[in-house]
Amino acid sequence: MPKHLIVVESPAKAKTMSKYLGKDFTCLASYGHVRDLIPKQGAVETENDFGMKYQLIEKNKKHVDAIVKAMKKADSLYLATDPDREGEAISWHLHEILKQEDVLDDKPVHRVEFHEITKTAIQHAIESPRALSENLINAQQARRALDYLVGFNLSPLLWKKVRRGLSAGRVQSPALRLIVEREEEIEKFIAREYWTIESDLNTKGKDFVARLTHFNGEKLEQFTVDNGARAAEIDAALKAAAQGRLQVLSVEKKQRRRNPAPPFTTSTLQQEASRKLGFTAQRTMRTAQQLYEGMDLGHGEVVGLISYMRTDAVNLANEAVAEIREVIKDRFGADNLPDEPIAYKNKSKNAQEAHEAIRPTSAARTPDAVKDHLKPDQLRLYELIWKRTMACQMVPAVLDTVTVDMAAGEGNVFRANGSTVVKPGFMAVYQEDTDDKPKDAPEGVTEDEKLLPPMEQGESIELKAIRPEQHFTEPPPRFSEASLVKALESYGIGRPSTYASIIYTLESREYVTLDNRRFKPTDVGRVVNKFLSEHFFHYVDYDFTARMEDDLDAISRGEKEWKPVLQDFWVDFKNQVKEKESVDRPGVEMMEEECPKCGKKLAKRLGRNGYFIGCTGYPDCNYTRNVDDAVGASNEPEIVPDRKCPKCESNLVIKRGRYGRFIGCSNYPNCKHMEPLEKPADTGVECPECKQATMLKRKSRYGKVFYSCARYPDCKYAVWNPPLKEPCPQCGWPILSIKTTKRRGVEKVCPVKECGFAEPYEGEVPFAEPPKVAAV
């Protein structure tokens, strides 16, 4: 009987497929990429028609050896890596390695592609193999070469001009520019004052609110009333004109429909998981990968729960739509099912129509049906995908909207808006969230979902109060993960599968930090962005990056050759790198102030831990001070009074590191004792793991508060939320923690993830951080 070897990327996928394919197939995993460019100059031979020098990835050598060994015994090879460029490249690299090992002979080699790991999809793929796609392979090679050429030529320049150890990336650099430019926009922002005039009204025993839209016949714009004196004048005039009553001028009623959002793409899944679940892009993709590769649902049934999660397509297979419509009819009623299936079109010109949107592999497999077999993250993400998929094929929601205009004397008009849901349609299952709603959005920007009391033209309405309200315009918000992904997509920077790695790279290089789940550039990030924007603007330009992505897509479709694209890029880029080797170092700002030690000029410089002020006479003069220290301050460290180092009895001093100020030993590096500047607060809650000490409130190196055992590092138990001295009623864990989210409010939750216990909490949150108050 013939024996076949089938190779996939992950062991989880291999395990799932082995159950479907039977004894005739041996299923092995490559564990991702198996070859990469050699990590040194010359890996891309720019003078030799862009030849690429690859080497085996050391950590995957044992997995490749296992594949080579199995291929010797097999009669044919099936390459079943992911259905995208990266997957195609992995299959090609495996094919090249097996050729070099001389184990293929004349054995047939098949490339199989499927978008969901179900028995039917895999069997169909095995029956319909294809050859390796040269176009997809060339597109991936071109992308890898571009990233290599940018990294290996720009990074050494950053080492010379900014700081050792830095690096620049082709898609990360424009993403960094987005974040830095937003921060500069926030810093330059000047708040403007404006006032709105609202009225508290009552009719038929129901209170409601209306906003002034016209005064003395003039339509009010945002800044028409820009000071308290003018607001007080209008307030007095309106009260005098109204005499405690408003007259209804008009009542306008409309019925409108709201359509459901399309099914998930990679980008929209990352955005919604960030908004609704608080997941990072990496956490979303990691969890989605697990759902795709296959979950054990008991009784020996292992199945992929969702279709392939790296996609920019919004279309759904006809068979999937038919099943979705059946589930909608059974669970939500025939009145929520449109007469015809709803078709969605891709807005992206480069969307791969052969792919599907992200959907459950079986719509009949509800979240309730699988919840006992999934971890909490997996269940929450699966439920999000299932609900969005159901909603996308349901009827629109129908809303009645009412606009009532009321007069307060001649030429003065108050307007009240309201709406009611007549037929919820898809909204009964799912509604899409949005980013960054303005706090004081003008009418029409945010929807008022309140029901107004019935009113008729000419009716007199009781005026209870007129309220002038002061407001200030706010700067644009910093990017969250969701809004950054949305911006990257809109500019065409990268592709859906790269968004998570772009964000991870910016954080790991310490170009940005997360502050209250918003991205803020570091000093290093600002200097790198300034250097690239001033000297390599063409390559961090949003349009250039998008055009390069278009070229890669054209290569994958066979419309362009990959080597001429590389040649066009390389000629200009090489010349520009050479020209910029003589430019001045960025991150150095000369100051008028003189050094208190030697009299030479001082300069603001970028150091290892951010900006500092130092003498231009270095190394002859070693004067330095922190940027926020007083003029003329000594660079001698501040000694901690009445304390000695517990290890060596030397003086303790206050130092500054990359994560802020701390106490360290003056005998460093001979003694490396250090401790936080602020003593951690004791919660009084006993550590549930070691039961030998209490939990302390601490701050991480990035400033995030957490709670950990006082015996650290002997006991490493820690939680992010304030601990509560109360056992879990569900699993008996000795403590609970108090979690606060926008969606669910304040809850008591069990720190044991597998438990899932949660209930509302009414008391005061102990040891919580005080809320941040924005300065006006």
Catalytic sites, residue numbers? 308
Tokens of 524: 């290093």
Q: How far is CA 319 from CA 311, 326, 353, 385, in A?
A: 19, 11, 16, 18
Total residues belonging to the chain? 776
Tokens of 264: 């998930």
| Cα–Cα dist 303/20, whole Å | 9
Q: Cα 262–264–270 angle (5° rounding)?
A: 135
| Cα–Cα dist 155/162, whole Å | 10
- The residues pairing with 56 across neighbouring beta strands, listed in sequence order, are 35
CA atoms within 13 A on the CB side of 66: 14
| Cα–Cα dist 565/570, whole Å | 9
Tokens of 568: 């066009």
- How many C-beta atoms lie closer than 10 Å to residue 442's C-beta? 13
Contact present, 527 and 305 (Cβ < 8 Å)? no
| Cα–Cα dist 161/575, whole Å | 18
Tokens of 679: 């003593």
Q: Hey, CA dihedral for 626, 632, 633, 635, is it positive or negative?
A: positive
| Cα–Cα dist 175/488, whole Å | 7
Q: Is the peptide bond prior to 619 cis by the omega test (within 30 degrees of 0)?
A: yes
Nearest to 281 by CA among 542, 514, 497, 10: 497
Which stretch of DSSP H or E encloses residue 513?
strand 512-515
Type of residue numbered 694: T
Type of residue numbered 702: Y
The b/e string for 95-128 (b: 16+ C-beta within 10 A; e otherwise) is bebbeeeebbeeeebbbbbbbbbbeebbeebbee
Three-class secondary structure of residue 555 per DSSP: helix
Question: Residue 24, Cα to own-chain centre: how many angstroms?
Answer: 43
Query: Which residues 6+ apart lie within 8 Å of 299 measured at CB?
Result: none
Q: Hey, CA dihedral for 11, 12, 17, 20, is it positive or negative?
A: positive
Tokens of 229: 């004196």
Q: Hey, CA dihedral for 475, 476, 480, 484, is it positive or negative?
A: negative
CA atoms within 13 A on the CB side of 340: 3
Type of residue numbered 643: R
Q: Percent helix, strand, coil in the chain (nearest 5)?
A: 35, 25, 40
Three-class secondary structure of residue 266 per DSSP: helix
DSSP 568-580: HHHHHHHHHHHHG
| Cα–Cα dist 251/403, whole Å | 6
Type of residue numbered 344: Y
Q: What is the dihedral of CA 566, 569, 572, 576, to 10 degrees?
A: -110
DSSP 618-642: TTT---EEETTSPTT---SPEEEEE
Tokens of 10: 């992950």
Tokens 């690429």 correspond to: 52
Type of residue numbered 750: C
Type of residue numbered 417: N
